[in-house]
Chains A and B, each alone.
Chain A
Amino acid sequence: MSRVMDHFLQPGGHSGSFMHRLEPRVKVVAIGGFVALSTMLTSRTGLVLAVGFLLVLTAAARVNLRHLIGRLLWLLPFAGVMILLFPFIIPGDPFWRWEWGILTLTATQEGWQHALMLSLRVFAAVLALNFLIATTGLRRVLEALSFFRVPAVFIQLIEFTIRYIYVVGDELRRMNTARAARGFVPGRHLFHRHTFRTLGQTVAVLFMRSWERGERIYHAMLARGYSGENHKKALPPPGGWDLAWGAFILSVAVGLRLFELGGHIWLLSLK
Chain B
Amino acid sequence: MHIPDGFLDPKIWVGASAVSAGALAAAVSNTRKVLEDRQVPALGVMAAFIFAAQMINFPVAGGTSGHLLGGALAAILLGPWSAGLILTTVLVIQMLFFYDGGLTALGANVLNMAVIAPWVAYGTYRLLGGLFRGNAGRTVATFLAAWLSVMAAALACSLEIAFSGTVPLAVVLPAMLGWHALIGIGEGLITVVVVSFVSRLWGLEQPGQKSYAGGEQL
- Residue numbers of A with Cβ under 8 A of B are 1, 4, 7-8, 32, 35-36, 38-40, 71, 74-75, 78, 86, 89-91, 117-118, 120-122, 124-126, 129-130, 133, 138, 141, 151, 153-154, 156-165, 167-169, 171-172, 186-190, 192, 195-197, 199-208, 210-211, 213-215, 217-218, 221, 226-228
Contacts and interface: CB of A to CB of B under 8 A. Distances in A.
Interface in B1-33: 4-8, 10, 24-25, 28, 32
A182 to B, nearest CB: 16
B151 interface: no
B61 A172 contact: no
A190 B147 CA distance: 13
Nearest to B99: A126
Given A200-B192, A200-B197, A207 B39 contact: no
A4 to B, nearest CB: 7
A201 B193 CA distance: 7
Contacts of A160: 40-41, 44-45, 47
A228 B189 contact: no
Given A39-B5, A200-B192, A168 B48 contact: yes
Nearest to A176: B56
Interface of B: 4-8, 10, 24-25, 28, 32, 36-49, 51-53, 55-56, 58-63, 68, 73, 77, 85, 88-90, 92-93, 95-99, 102-104, 166-168, 171, 182, 185-186, 189-194, 197-198, 201, 213-214
A203 B53 contact: yes
A218 B38 contact: yes
A66 B8 CA distance: 30
Nearest to B47: A161
B62 to A, nearest CB: 8
Most B CB atoms within 10 A — which of A159, A188, A202, A218? A218
B168 A90 contact: yes
A215 B213 CA distance: 10
Given A118-B6, A211-B49, A218-B38, 6 more contacts: A8-B97, A156-B44, A168-B49, A190-B186, A200-B190, A227-B37
Nearest to B31: A153
Contacts of B58: 186, 190, 195-196, 199
Contacts of B89: 154, 157-158, 161
Contacts of B25: 151
